[in-house]
Structure 1
Amino acid sequence: MSFSGIPTAALDFYDDLEADNSKSFWTAHKAVYDESVRGPMEALAAAVAKDFGEGKLFRPYRDVRFAKDKTPYKTHQGVWFEESRVYVQVSAAGLFVAAGYWRTETAQVERLRRAVAHDLHGPALEKAVAAVTKKGFRIGGDQLTRVPKGFDKDHPREGLLRHKTLTAAKELGFPDWLSTPKAKAEVVKAWKAMSPLVEWLDQHVGPA
């Protein structure tokens, strides 16, 4: 299946699922999910695999074992590209893109902090963050409420030092090109706009 865009039916499906997140709704509309959500997202993943690596389509079912919210289904469909550290998601709100390090092990967090505090690598990160935010992306990630022990609480990059994970993201919504083949190019364009942050993380934090 070649990628031809994300149909409006995908957004409508999640709009309806948010209103009726039940097994009966899912069973009655699973064909819509397969055709309008899963199929196009798999096609998008295949279309960009040569440049970004294999994409992992997340399961649509929520793990409710320890959750207060017992609704059984996720109200979005995401695809994660481990090799390139990029992500794309469709929901009732439209398209969402992100990139960076969502999960980090202890050793990675330590490397992140050392690099942020470094006299050369730290300013390089600030430059990367500035380049990404200038294009409309927001910087996120899990953060401590205070600067970690061992670092000056008045450090000029104290905000970045508090990060345990570091990401960039942007809501693309539902522009006219969403349901057309151009959606692939727009997603790739967004991922490349976030590449300064990913490249810095790959160089100074790296895999677990």
Structure 2
Amino acid sequence: MSEFTGFPTEALIFFEGLEADNSKAYWTDHRATYETAVRGPMLALLAALGPEFGEPHVFRPYRDVRFSKDKSPYKTAIGAHCERGGYVQVSASGLMAASGYWRTAPDQVERLRAAIADDLRGPGLEDIVARLRADGCEVSGDQLRTRPRGYAADHPRVELLRYKTLTAHRGFGEPSWLGEPACAEHVASAWREMRLLTDWLDEQVGASRLPESRR
């Protein structure tokens, strides 16, 4: 495994081209660039982050188009995940790091809302969300259009109660350090900051306890 030295400009240029021509012909013609400027640096980044953040997984570049009207064959970003850290992505827009709960089963949503509504636990999440947003992170997720059934419209945390999933992410764009080894520390620092949210979610929500068929 090569030492991580950052993501070269060619990585972003590759995805700019893929956005303009999402075809097998483009992919085949530029496969060498993908391997050396995109996938190689991502694997090296994950190796650098692994000792602190755990087992990595790089997502496949191919889209699942079976149930999609969009039949474009390739994802226009490379994404990866570390089990104790979060998600990291490089696209034409640059670098992004994220963490939180992207998918939730019905029992997790129930526990999430109960914790938010609770006057002892809910304010803690309010403070975390406010702190992350003040530091430049975006906190978002899948939301209901209105309050969930069973909760008062004037609940002090009604906006948080609308969330079914909850994540934090920081878009870095294309900073000067993107092509430098320091890029790894910026991703690590973002994940450490986002632990405020993931720790709260792990404690108050945790993994689904439902059978796989009911999630």
TM-score, with structure 1 as normaliser = 0.97
Aligned-partner SS, 1:168 = strand
The CA deviation string for residues 11-33 of structure 1, in whole angstroms up to 9 with x for no partner, is 01001111111001101111110
Question: What is the one-letter code of the residue matched to 1:99?
Answer: S
What does residue 100 of structure 2 align with?
100
CA contact (8 A) 1:104 1:165 kept: yes
What does residue 117 of structure 1 align with?
117
Q: State how many pairs are aligned.
A: 207
Matched, 1:27 2:28: yes
Structure 2: 5+ residue stretches without partners? 209-215
After superposition, the CA RMSD in angstroms is: 0.9
Matched, 1:182 2:179: no
What does residue 12 of structure 2 align with?
11
The CA deviation string for residues 86-127 of structure 1, in whole angstroms up to 9 with x for no partner, is 111000110011110000111111110010001111000001
Identity of aligned residues (%): 55
1 CA distance for matches of 2:71 and 2:82?
28
What does residue 64 of structure 2 align with?
63
The structural deviation recorded for 1:190 is 1.3
TM-score, with structure 2 as normaliser = 0.94
The structural deviation recorded for 1:198 is 1.2
1 CA distance for matches of 2:114 and 2:83?
24
1 CA distance for matches of 2:29 and 2:51?
36
The structural deviation recorded for 1:132 is 0.6
CA contact (8 A) 1:141 1:167 kept: yes
CA contact (8 A) 1:46 1:54 kept: no
What does residue 154 of structure 2 align with?
154
The structural deviation recorded for 1:165 is 0.2
The structural deviation recorded for 1:205 is 0.8
The structural deviation recorded for 1:68 is 1.3
What does residue 172 of structure 1 align with?
172
2 CA distance for matches of 1:162 and 1:82?
27
Structure 1's consecutive aligned runs of 4 or more residues displaced over 3 angstroms after TM superposition are none
